[in-house]
Structure formats: C-alpha cells, structure tokens
Structure 1
Amino acid sequence: MTISTQSFSTSLDALEAQFGRRVASRLALGSEQLPHDIGERLRVARQQAVGRRKLAPQLHAAPVVVSNGRSATLGLGGRWWTRIGSVVPLIALAAGLITISVMQDDDRANDLAEVDSALLTGDLPPAAYTDPGFAQFLKTDDATAR
C-alpha cells in the first residue's frame, strides 16, 4: 500500500484547515463574552497575524523577472551565500586557534632561551645544577636567607 505525496499533502492541508476552523470557532465563542474594547483589540491582532502569515512565504522566494509573458528567476544563489556564511566563522575560529598555538610556542621557546642563556652566562657550571648536593644547598640557603 503506497500513498502518493500529493494525496498525503492534500490530507495534511485538509487536517490543517479543519484544525484552523475549530480554533477560530472556539475563539469566536469566547470573544462574544469579552468587553467590546478587548474584542476589537483581539480582532485587530488576528488581522495582523493573518497579514504576517501571508507575507512570510514571500520572504524566502527568489526575485522573479517577467519578460514577454515568461518568468525566470534571477538565481541570486541564496544557498551559496548561506554556505559561505556558515563556513567563514569556522575558518576564522581555526585561524585564531592556529595563531594562539604559534604564539604560545614562541613564548615557550623564548622562556627556554632565557633559562639557557642564564645558565651559560652564570657563575656556576651547568653540571652543578644536576648535582643533588647543590639542590640541597639551594634549599637550605633559601631557608636561612629568610
């Protein structure tokens, strides 16, 4: 058993129309009991909502040029701009992360270069820093200096 998409959309449209009629009848029954000024504000609000609903599908339509009784779309490529608009922030994010990574690597290299230059230009030979007795001497020297 197969259902064609046309009959399916027709049945959905019929259900939607039936639901709309039921809601409208309930609103009409309830609005009879309201004061006149509130009823008028509701009527105006309904008219505005219906007007907006009729305009909404036209916002996404492509512009149409009519010439000699034939119509053609301009083909502005709405999907193309949407794709570019969604890819540009990702590219910017990736570029920012790469820039941060490079800057941090440069900072680490500069810090290590400062330590190396301090070791090589200092008064002690580099082998002294690996001596466990020297590390103990530094600890006790810091404790007595306080």
Structure 2
Amino acid sequence: MNTANTPSHEMAADRFARRITARLSSGANDLPYDISERLRAARTQALAKRKVTVQVRRIAPAVVHSGHAAALGGGSERSGWWSALVSAVPVMALLVGLVVINVAQDEQGTNEVAEVDAALLTDELPPAAYSDPGFVQFLKTAHSSN
C-alpha cells in the first residue's frame, strides 16, 4: 500500500480491517468444517470485490481542483502534442462552422438586395419616383380606386 498518497481515513479503515481479520482468524480453528468453508468463500468474494473497487479507482488518474470545481485530468497517459492536437479538433470544427454560417448569411443578404435592385431597375417607374412624397399619396388613391 502506498502510504504517501493514501488519506488517513483509508489507512485507519485498513488497520481496522486487519484487526478484525486477525480476530476472526484466531477463532476460525474452533469452528465446524461447513462454517469455515462458508467463511472462506465469503472472504474470497470480499477480496474479489475489493480488487474490482481498486481497479475502478485507477480510471481517473488525476483530479484538478479549480476554485469550487473539480475536473478529471488526463494524467500521464495522454500527454504531449498529440493530446493538444486532438483537443484542438473540436475548436477548429466550431470555427469552420461559424465561418461557413457567416458566409452563407452574407450571400443571402446580398441576393435579397440584388433582387430589390433588379425589381427597381426593371420597373416602369424611375427610381426617383419611389422617394417622391406625392408618389405615396398617388399609390394610396390609386389603390383605393381599384
């Protein structure tokens, strides 16, 4: 057991478990055969579960504390330029997507302005008529008479 990285409560629990084990082992010689076999099977199962728990703890090699938040770090398994490259791929995809959306919106706005300009230039009225204040009154009276 590595005592340098183990919290004190885990060490205390480990000492307590060793004392209980020693006490149970000392009285196991006086038990009948069937009970001692059941105890041996229970110990084997407990050890198997403890091994699984220890393996689960090794999945997250580092916990990084930042203020009130904690994040799992990659540890030494993923380090170097390959890790930086892999983490930069989603950021690059986001930037490319934003550029594509910006270009598409600019093109759509340009097409709408071009349609309005084409309609104004191909109309029978000159463009100056649309800015004339009397033309709006003309349109209102012409529309109501139809």
TM-score by length of 2: 0.53
Unaligned runs of 5+ residues in structure 1 are 1-8, 26-39, 62-75
Instruction: Report percent identity of matched pairs.
Output: 36
Q: State the number of aligned residues.
A: 107
Note closer, same or farther for the CA distance 1:118–1:20 as it changes in structure 2 (3 Å cut): farther
Note closer, same or farther for the CA distance 1:96–1:16 as it changes in structure 2 (3 Å cut): same
User: What are the superposed Cα offsets for residues 106-141 of structure 1, whole Å, 9 maximum, x if unpaired?
Assistant: 111111111111111110000011112212333454
Match of 1:35 in 2: none
Match of 1:95 in 2: 96
Root-mean-square deviation (Å): 3.9
Match of 2:71 in 1: none
- 1:54 is paired with a residue whose SS is helix
- 1:79 is paired with a residue whose SS is coil
Note closer, same or farther for the CA distance 1:104–1:11 as it changes in structure 2 (3 Å cut): closer
Unaligned runs of 5+ residues in structure 2 are 21-40, 62-75
Match of 2:108 in 1: 107
User: What are the superposed Cα offsets for residues 59-109 of structure 1, whole Å, 9 maximum, x if unpaired?
Assistant: 678xxxxxxxxxxxxxx9722333223211111011001100001101111
Match of 1:125 in 2: 126
Match of 1:4 in 2: none
1:50 maps onto 2:20 in alignment = no
Note closer, same or farther for the CA distance 1:122–1:82 as it changes in structure 2 (3 Å cut): same
1:16 maps onto 2:10 in alignment = yes
Note closer, same or farther for the CA distance 1:89–1:23 as it changes in structure 2 (3 Å cut): farther
Distance in structure 2 (CA, Å) of the matches to 1:77 and 1:18: 31
TM-score by length of 1: 0.53
Match of 1:86 in 2: 87
Match of 2:139 in 1: 138
Structure 1 stretch displaced more, 118-127 or 13-22? 13-22
> Which structure carries more helix by proportion?
1
